[in-house]
Amino acid sequence: MKKLSDILNIIVFFGFTAVIAIVSFCIPKQSFSETENRYLAEAPKLSVRGYFSGNTAKQISEYLDDSFPMRTNWISLHTSLELLQGRKEVNGVYILEDRMLGLAHQVDYKNIEPSLDAVKKLCSITDAQVYMLAAPTAAHIYSDKMYAFGPCLDQKQFVDYIYDYLDGDLTAIYVFDELKSNRDDYIYYRTDHHWTQRGAYIAYTVAAKSMGHVPVGQERFNIRHASHSFLGSLHSKTMYNQIEADTIDFYISNAHFVTLDCHNTDNSRQDSLYSQEYLSVKDKYLCYTGENSAIKSLYSTADGGRLLVIKDSYANCFVQFLAEHYSWIDMIDLRYMTDPSDYIDLDNYDSVLIIYNAVNLSEDNNLRKLSLLG
């Protein structure tokens, strides 16, 4: 019995380690990981210089890590083991019974000041009316359900700070209360870090009023349930499969016809506000105006002025509503450009809207690029 047990034990140990090594050499190599949204490490070229700098060893490690067999299944197992020991925070995601929340770390408010000063400068050099909408993320809206491990960003306090800082320079749009009172109305995805188009619509009703428009009612839109199987970025981070998949809705206007002008990185052109082709990929949120890119333009049959939207991806399912009021909307994403003046001329716009979620606003330094304008 002892001998048998020892033999089994040895087989388990060496079998397990060796089989993984063999399998990883045999399975075909992927170059892109859809769940991780990045290119995987490639086998490094060996060189003496690479060896002495320590890079070769590092690259081999990364290559072996990235080509580990059944990677996502291991991540799932890891998440289950974390939950089993009472952990709620896994890989930066807080897991509740019915949804996941992306956690945001506390930041030093001082770091955001150069960005805000760039916004101030923008306001001072343009005649256009400037608006700002800092949206909360789900982590704020459901914060009462969370017992976080460490200090989290207090989004309300942070946005109050920003709005105070910019007081007098621009018109601040405050959507926190409206979103919070509708929080049972499926305004944030359960498995993704974005708001749903329903959430964006609620924020729009507040924004439209601030921007001097009468918000159009929801009956203006045909709501199409495009997909019921969206597993978003929070799912990618944890590979946790116990949360119901999300629904992607398309709010299609009855009144106006809107076209999109967007050049993708592969130079393909996209002209639809809702791109069906992304329904078949992992990140279905891309249906909303497509991939992130430096500049996208919306042309609407609505009768209205020209609007510049300086934005992160929260705007992608939000601008559709603004197209009810503006005939031409340019959206720029500062993360994908070095100098905004390469893309736009401030004199062309009647209004400017800066729309970000509070977490991006706290972590992203790209707003500083606005100081290059004018």
Partner 1 sequence: MVFSSVEFLFYYLPIVMLLYYITPHKLKNFALFISGTVFYAWGEPKYVFVMLLSAAIDYTAGILMSGTEKASKRRMCLIVSVVMNLCLLFVFKYASFAVEVVNTVFGISLSDPSIPLPIGISFFTFQSMSYTIDLYLGKISVQRNPINFLAYVTCFPQIVAGPIVKYQDIADRLERRHVTLDMLSNGASLFAYGLAKKVLLANNIGLVWERIKTSDYSALSAPAAWLGIIAFAFQIYFDFSGYSDMAIGLGKMLGFEFPKNFDLPYLSKSISEFWRRWHITLGSWFRDYVYIPMGGSRNGRRKTVINLIVVWILTGLWHGASINFVLWGLWFGVLIIIEKLWLGKILEKLPDVISWAYTMLAVILGWVLFDTSSVHSAIAYIGAMLGYGDGTVRAMSGLLPQSAIVLALCMFFSSGAAGNYVSKLSGRSRNTVMALKPIITAALLIASTSYLVNSTYNPFLYFNF
**Residues interacting with partner 1, by CB under 8 A?**
1-14, 16-18, 20-21, 24, 35-38, 51-54, 57, 60-62, 64-66, 68, 71, 74-75, 77-78, 81, 85-89, 91, 146-151, 193, 233, 236-237, 291-292, 313, 335
Give the shortest CB-103-to-partner 1 separation in angstroms: 11
Nearer CB in complex with partner 1: 12/255: 12
Give the shortest CB-222-to-partner 1 separation in angstroms: 30
CA 276-318-102 angle, 5° bins: 90
Strand ranges of the sheet holding 100-102, from the earlier edge strand across to the other edge: 89-90, 93-95, 100-102
Give the shortest CB-17-to-partner 1 separation in angstroms: 5
Q: What is the DSSP string of 9-66?
A: HHHHHHHHHHHHHHHHHHSPPPSEETTTTEEPPPPPPP-HHHHHHTHHHHHHHHHHHH
DSSP assignment, residue 102? E
Give the shortest CB-318-to-partner 1 separation in angstroms: 17
Nearer CB in complex with partner 1: 254/267: 267
Distance, in Å, from the CA atom of 287 to the CA atom of 273, rounded to the nearest integer, reads 8
Nearer CB in complex with partner 1: 75/329: 75
The candidate with the shortest Cα–Cα distance to 133, out of 181, 67, 76, 204, is 204
Nearer CB in complex with partner 1: 73/124: 73
Q: What is the DSSP string of 216-251?
A: PPGGGEEEEEEEEEE--HHHHHH----SPPEEEEEE
Nearer CB in complex with partner 1: 143/351: 143
Distance, in Å, from the CA atom of 144 to the CA atom of 141, rounded to the nearest integer, reads 8
Give the shortest CB-344-to-partner 1 separation in angstroms: 21
Give the shortest CB-294-to-partner 1 separation in angstroms: 12
The dihedrals phi and psi of 233, each to the nearest 5 degrees, come to -65, -30
Give the shortest CB-131-to-partner 1 separation in angstroms: 24
Give the shortest CB-262-to-partner 1 separation in angstroms: 15
Contacts of 207 (CB under 8 A, 6+ apart): 131, 133, 173, 175, 322, 353
Nearer CB in complex with partner 1: 66/330: 66
The candidate with the shortest Cα–Cα distance to 230, out of 245, 250, 249, is 245
- Assess contact for 244 and 190: CB atoms under 8 A: yes
Helices (H), the chain: 2-26, 48-53, 55-66, 71-84, 113-125, 138-141, 155-165, 176-181, 197-210, 233-238, 319-322, 358-363
Distance, in Å, from the CA atom of 294 to the CA atom of 287, rounded to the nearest integer, reads 17
Give the shortest CB-34-to-partner 1 separation in angstroms: 10
Nearer CB in complex with partner 1: 126/292: 292
Nearer CB in complex with partner 1: 75/166: 75
Nearer CB in complex with partner 1: 221/278: 278
